[in-house]
Amino acid sequence: MAEDAGKRIHRAERPRLDGNVEIEKVSEVKFVIRKESVPGMNKDIDIYADMEMLGRMRSDRTLRQAANAAMLPGLASNMMVMPDGHEGYGFPVGGVEAFDAHEGIISPGAIGFDINCGVRLIKTDLSEDEIRKNVGKLADSLFKNVPSGVGSKMHLGFSQKELERVCEEGVNFIIDKGYGTEKDIEHTEENGMMEGADFSKVSDDAKARGLFQLGTLGAGNHFLEVQKVEKLFDKDTAEGYGLREGQAVIMVHTGSRGFGHQICSDYLRTLVEYQSRNNIVLQDPELSYADIGSKEADAYLGAMKCAVNYAFTNRQIITSSIRKSFEEVFGKDSEDLGMGLLYDVSHNIAKLEEHKVEGMRKKVYVHRKGATRAFPKGHRDVPKAYRSLGQPVLIPGSMTTGSYVLVGTESAMEQTFGSSCHGAGRVMSRHQAIREIPTSKTMNELRRKRVEIRIRTKKLVSEEAEWAYKKIDDVVQVVEKAGIAKIVARCAPIAVIKG
């Protein structure tokens, strides 16, 4: 990192990633921007994309933000952008960076406001036909039992002390209260609890926002979908995961709600003071950070882990509500309906992990923002039930297309710190989608594909239309061609619940 007049400089001028910046094609689906191409970059940028995706990334600030991120100190390896990558807050969505555990940094902007936004998939023994016979009633029940929308609340009667236990104990606490089974814990990333959460590092504002939002979906791109397993690509792995063609499954996509958002906002303000006090000049103020080992980094990590555990718990309570709806509609216990949890993965998080870096095993803080962990078979952090197969990687698409189950690979460990994409990735802003995509167009497509929908506000129909996103099929094809995950199954929507 350059030194100038006692200041730690990344670079004062904003880099222009225009047509003059050379992007080297390494393979059909991998491109590299060498650090020499943009003054101030400490590492190269690895981009996983096809030519169309790369063109879209060049048309907004995705690659400029990636270059800014590549100027951060303490990087253990290259900055990476997944095929669903697009412009975000400071750090591109679909971005992955790893920082040295001793000399690196923690950056809230490289994690995101919705800390531990993630996806879980619940299996059933029901067929598509059985679902369709009851789809209207089921959609109504799910819409009633799982609150959605901006500011949605669920009054569980929790006290402040119980919120603290949620934040520090995660899913373990809520399972003891009857919201699931021990197997749910085993099939959740981190076993549903990151150690080191410190409730004392969470602001009163965040606590107030979090108390009544557990068990809620929220709005935006968050959803609950009843899906059918449409096609198997890797039958052996699918069988190991308990998936079969025609089977009904339920996908949930949500995170830490206003609780995590407030924590991120609070610490971004704190870090502005940190930058000033330590004479740090940032390429982009949205990439503010704290050095590992500083009190500011420790405080943020303690609070971030609270939001991580909150989000795991949120999805677990939603799972309990989903099981309740299925019991109401089908008149059987959820266990008899085969409603086991396949897996729950996070895609907005920073984690201390051990990886091979330049031939040596090192501990690094891997920041994944809009990127999913994709560990291979044999890895100790993969649940025992899947250790001979590899970690399930859950990739949601838009409400009229489909979603995917992938499996992690050893190549991902070598290339991307065991990371993959997290979804389709936007190509339109929400405002642009509302302007350009008529609600009727999406509603007609939903009817054509026989997808039942329950939604709080009609503007979301346009905001979340398939044309506002990249094609999910193309995104996962890039991931598979790059070798960082392998396609196992494709799922198609039957019923959609949104905020």
Other CB atoms within 10 A of residue 333 CB: 11
Q: Is residue 26 part of a domain?
A: no
Q: Is residue 122 part of a domain?
A: yes
Q: Is residue 24 part of a domain?
A: no
Boundaries of domain holding 394: 118-265+287-498
Q: Is residue 314 part of a domain?
A: yes
pLDDT of residue 13: 40
What are the start-end ranges of the E strands in 332-416?
341-346, 348-357, 360-369, 372-373, 392-395, 403-408
CA dihedral for 217, 248, 126, 241, sign (positive or negative): negative
Q: What is the pTM of this model?
A: 0.95
Among 233, 327, 179, residue whose Cα is nearest residue 241? 233
Q: Is residue 79 part of a domain?
A: no
Q: Is residue 399 part of a domain?
A: yes
| Residues in the chain where the model's pLDDT stays below 70 | 1-19
Q: Is residue 317 part of a domain?
A: yes
Which pLDDT tens digit goes with each residue over 7-42? 343 333 444 466 678 999 999 999 999 999 999 999
CA dihedral for 340, 346, 352, 357, sign (positive or negative): positive
pLDDT of residue 19: 62
pLDDT of residue 17: 67
Q: In sequence order, what are the residues at sequence separation of 6 or more whose Cβ sits closer than 8 angstroms to the Cβ of residue 174?
A: 166, 180, 313, 316, 317
CA angle 200, 202, 205 (to 5 degrees): 130
Per-position DSSP letters for 284-325, written without gaps between them: SGGG--EETTSHHHHHHHHHHHHHHHHHHHHHHHHHHHHHHH
CATH number at residue 169: 3.90.1860.10
Distance CA(66)–CA(32), nearest Å, equals 11
Out of 253, 379, 422, 431, the active site residue is: 422
**Helix (H) / strand (E) containing 96:** strand 93-100
Q: How many domains does the chain have?
A: 1
pLDDT of residue 11: 36
Q: Is residue 67 part of a domain?
A: no
Which pLDDT tens digit goes with each residue over 206-232? 999 999 999 999 999 999 999 999 999
Helix axes 51-59 and 472-482, enclosed angle (nearest 10) = 110
pLDDT of residue 6: 33
pLDDT of residue 458: 83
pLDDT of residue 1: 31
Q: Any catalytic annotation for residue 347?
A: no
Name the average pLDDT for the chain. 94
Distance CA(491)–CA(465), nearest Å, equals 17
